[in-house]
């Protein structure tokens, strides 16, 4: 009797173990099939912090979700041998689904075409929650191409700063220029220019005051000349023959005796 019970226990245990192995194998198989058939990986990198970005955060293309963030790490830990300047860059691996591709048999080829056309990856905040996502889009300003010291494992999407980062960078540059300016010297130069301009206007006023009598006389003479020309024109209009002879004829010899 005891021997029969042991045999039954052995059968049950064997059946349970076989079921667990089958379940694990199914999960592994279907999980691998799903990954191979429904998703592919790409990566990007950032020199600046990616605050608010987490594993599982959305990846969007023109506002449409096309994948999620698979991992976030440092370039130096994933790619040994990179330059010191690149080791602190942040590597973000992205997992894309097939809705991203117009041809589901070649989604990676589509992504490569988009990268060649200028698509970049930007870390953008989602509203006021502070949760970030990766946005794929064509930047309005052409981004400078950067040489990297590592060989990416997957398709590498160039990064681009967000609008807020661009504004902050521009504001920082303006403040830096202001800090480097010698405000005291600049103020002194402006004061000197204002004083020179005031002196020029003062000298011009003195010259006008000094020359006023001469200018008045010139204007008076011009007025007299204008009146004389007007009288002469009216006289010629009345007697056109005056243009051919003098208005005062010399006396005849007989009358001069």
- 72-112 pLDDT, tens per residue? 999 999 999 899 989 999 999 999 987 666 555 678 888 89
Q: What is the pTM of this model?
A: 0.52
Distance CA(165)–CA(175), nearest Å, equals 15
The structure tokens 């953008």 sit at 124
What's the Rg (C-alpha) of the chain? 47
d(CA 39, CA 68): 10
pLDDT at 24: 58
3-state helix, strand, coil in the chain (%, to 5): 55, 20, 30
Measured CA to CA, the distance from residue 199 to residue 212 in angstroms comes to 20
CA-angle at 69, arms to 141 and 72, nearest 5°: 90
Longest CA pairwise span in the chain (Å)? 191
Question: What are the residues whose beta carbons fall under 8 Å from the beta carbon of 111, sequence distance 6 or more?
Answer: 40, 42, 96, 100, 101, 155, 157
* Average pLDDT of span 238-249: 62
């Amino acid at each position: 009797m005891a021997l029969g019970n042991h045999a039954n226990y052995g059968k049950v245990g064997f059946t349970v173990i076989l079921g667990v192995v089958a379940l694990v194998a199914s999960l592994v198989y279907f999980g691998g099939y799903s990954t191979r058939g429904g998703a592919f990986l790409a990566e990007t990198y950032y020199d600046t912090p990616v605050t608010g970005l987490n594993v599982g955060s959305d990846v969007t293309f023109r506002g449409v979700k096309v994948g999620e963030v698979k991992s976030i790490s440092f370039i130096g830990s994933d790619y040994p041998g990179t330059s010191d300047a690149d080791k602190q860059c942040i590597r973000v691996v992205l997992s894309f689904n097939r809705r991203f591709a117009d041809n589901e048999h070649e989604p990676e080829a589509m992504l490569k075409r988009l990268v060649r056309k200028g698509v970049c990856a930007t870390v953008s905040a989602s509203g006021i929650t502070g949760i970030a996502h990766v946005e794929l889009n064509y930047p309005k300003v052409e981004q400078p191409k950067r040489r990297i010291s590592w060989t990416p494992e997957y398709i590498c999407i160039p990064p681009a700063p967000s609008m807020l980062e661009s504004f902050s960078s521009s504001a920082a540059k303006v403040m830096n220029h202001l800090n480097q300016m010698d405000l005291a010297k600049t103020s002194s130069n402006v004061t000197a220019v204002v004083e020179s301009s005031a002196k020029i206007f003062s000298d011009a006023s003195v010259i006008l005051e000094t020359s006023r009598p001469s200018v008045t006389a010139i204007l008076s003479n011009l007025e007299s000349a204008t009146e004389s020309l007007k009288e002469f024109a009216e006289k010629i209009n009345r007697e056109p023959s005056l243009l051919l002879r003098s208005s005062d004829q010399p006396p005849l010899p007989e009358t001069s005796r």
